[in-house]
Amino acid sequence: MPVYFCSFFLMVLFSFLQLSIFANDLELKLKNHIPFHPHQPNTIGYLSIGDHEESINEATWLYIKKGLDNYKKLRPIFIILELNTPGGELFIAQKISDALKEIDIQEQIPVVAVINNWAISAGAMVAYSCRFIATVKDGSMGAAEPIVMQGGQIQNTSEKITSALRTDFASRAAFFDRNPLIAEAMVDKEMILVQREGKVVSLHQESQLRLSHAPIDRIISAKGKLLTLDAQKMMTYGVADLLLTPRPLPQITAEQKQKGSWNAKQMLLFTAPFFSSIPNATVQAYQMDLTSKFFIFLLHPVVSSLLLMGLIVGAYLELSAPGLSFPGFIASFSLFLIFLSHFSLEGGGLIEIILLILGFSLILIEFFLFPTGMVFFSIGLVFFIIAIFSLLLPAFHLSDVYDQGLLPNVAPLLLKRVSWLLAALLLSFLFIIFFSRYLLKNRTVLHRFVLQGEEQEASKGFRANPSSSFAAGQEATAFTDLKPSGKVQIEGKLYEAISDSSFIAAGQKVKVLRREAGTFIVTAITGEF
């Protein structure tokens, strides 16, 4: 009995000494990375992702990007990133994670992730990209298996994608000295992870488990299950640095939230050792301006799809019924908003710009310079649509798709957004068919929108087809400016005419050279006006 008691006492003592060493090591790391001013105000940044239901998306990236840019100027001693998200778009999470590492390494502004309460899937990747992780007692982190939607059903991804994501998670964990095997087990449910003799070990087969002979393996992650850690296990395996104990705190008022500033003592993190010792600490939360909120609105898939429809249908109506100012305005404004939403995220790439310019140029060539039987128009239209589609994918540009390291993670987001845009494209064609059959045939429906000019009837002197009695060499007078087309007057009647070369002013004498398709080709009689 005394032997067992002594053994138990020694184990408790060892655990206590281990925790003390860990606490001292953490204290030293915090002091090295978060130097505060002992006698001056200390500013702390604050960002938040999720409300337990909100997923990580393009709007999240814009919010984080703008917030980090703001703190590069404000220079807080560190940034709090509160996480409570079930996950979201993996590629977006990668961009956010890279930005968090960048501000830590390049700007020397560390980020402290506070898990309250979820950091699941893509949220776990974001947490791993922060220098320090704190968690509330009911916090959880993990379960980051990549999935895709196929046929309206959730499907597991290929081993290639899983392997790429597993490597990504491991490298992000190791970057801040966390165990990479724990991170890999959050991605790959085929991994067997055990704690053996105080070390975390990955096994290839279940037969390698030590279950009967001492010391037995403590199973961390069983085969067939993704690893999800609760708060206590996050602390045990070194994923989290701080466990925040619940306690009463002064409430952050609505006025303080609206202002975006409050005393740091109103937050649970500042009840923990080291953080509680920071004097004159004030939290300055980043608040998005109206411009950024408008960009977020434009990034919504429904809004992006409507912009595509406005561009296509508006352009068609303008070309089919010249003079309709409103459809042309809608098309132009939709194109402007597409550019605005895309480049607000700095997602613009050279490929999209080249395709857009090339497509537009081919369309103009077809209509105004070199008709090819719609060949140039068709090619230009394909280029134009591809460029517009890429611009409507604000998280990345075409070059990203061909990046072998990013393609597996981009694919689910790409398929989701493309499906929205294809639906918008289909609806646009249906609208075009409707307009061409029922509205454009009856031009009176559209006349109220058309800028009307005075038309001259045949009874008032205009004849569309000139009489065959007029011969080459006959003289006439330019009734309107010919630049190069216009009207000429012959024997008191008006006829369509085209100048053979230069501009001809109204009232100038001209000579008829020939007649083509009912139109006179004329030249100016030099020296006569």
Tens of pLDDT, residue by residue over 79-108, are 999 999 988 888 788 889 999 999 999 999
The Cα–Cα gap between 172 and 208 comes to 28
Residue 380 contacts residue 363 (beta carbons within 8 Å): yes
Confidence of residue 156 (pLDDT cuts 50, 70, 90): low
Mean pLDDT to the nearest integer, 151-175: 73
Reading the block at residue 500, the tokens are 């053979």
Residue 381 contacts residue 328 (beta carbons within 8 Å): no
The number of residues in the chain equals 529
The pLDDT score that the predictor gives to residue 204 is: 83
The pLDDT score that the predictor gives to residue 445 is: 41
Helix, strand, coil shares, percent, the chain, to 5:
50, 20, 30
The pLDDT score that the predictor gives to residue 371 is: 66
Mean pLDDT to the nearest integer, 184-196: 89
Q: Identify the weakest region by mean pLDDT among 241-255, 277-291, 446-460, 506-520.
A: 446-460
- The 10s digit of each residue's pLDDT in 237-288 is 999 999 999 889 999 999 998 899 999 999 999 999 999 999 999 999 998 8
Angle between helices 325-343 and 301-320 (to 10 degrees): 150
- The 10s digit of each residue's pLDDT in 426-439 is 888 888 888 777 66
- In the predicted structure, residue 334 carries a pLDDT above the cut 70: yes
3-state secondary structure 507-521: CCEEEEEEEECCEEE
Which residue, among 196, 241, 242, 197, has the nearest Cα to 220 in the 3D structure?
Answer: 196
- In the predicted structure, residue 6 carries a pLDDT above the cut 90: no
The listed range with the strongest mean pLDDT (207-216, 348-357, 436-445) is: 207-216
The Cα–Cα gap between 33 and 132 comes to 10
Cβ neighbors of 86 (< 8 A, separation 6 or more) are 50, 52, 53, 55, 118, 120, 121, 123
Sketch out the chain's domains with CATH numbers. Answer: 18-174+229-288 (3.90.226.10), 292-449 (no CATH), 458-524 (2.40.50.140)
- In the predicted structure, residue 417 carries a pLDDT above the cut 80: no
